Copies of this chain bind each other. A is one copy, B any other.
Amino acid sequence: MKFEVVITISLKEGMLNPEAEAIQRAIAHLGFGVDHLRKRDQYRITLDAVDKQEAEKIAGSICERLLANPVIHTYEIEVI
């Protein structure tokens, strides 16, 4: 069966993110009041799996082996 999985990778709280800081400054330069900005990467993947549980397990494995660095990232998995 095919499952749609949404994986969201975020930097852990407290990790510096120069890209997000640059964007936040650019928004302030446009004249808008901005307090805080976080950037996350989201992957929407169509996976082969037997059931929802297996799809979730595969997605976890993809995060740990490929997409996320456990030292600096956290990840969320949602099977649709």
Give the B-binding residues of A (Cβ under 8 A). Answer: 2, 8, 20, 23-24, 26-27, 30, 32-49, 58, 61-62, 65-67
Contacts and interface: CB of A to CB of B under 8 A. Distances in A.
B35 A48 contact: yes
Contacts of A2: 35
A66 B30 contact: yes
A35 B34 CA distance: 39
A30 B65 CA distance: 9
Number of chain copies forming the complex = 2
A4 to B, nearest CB: 9
B40 A45 contact: no
A21 to B, nearest CB: 13
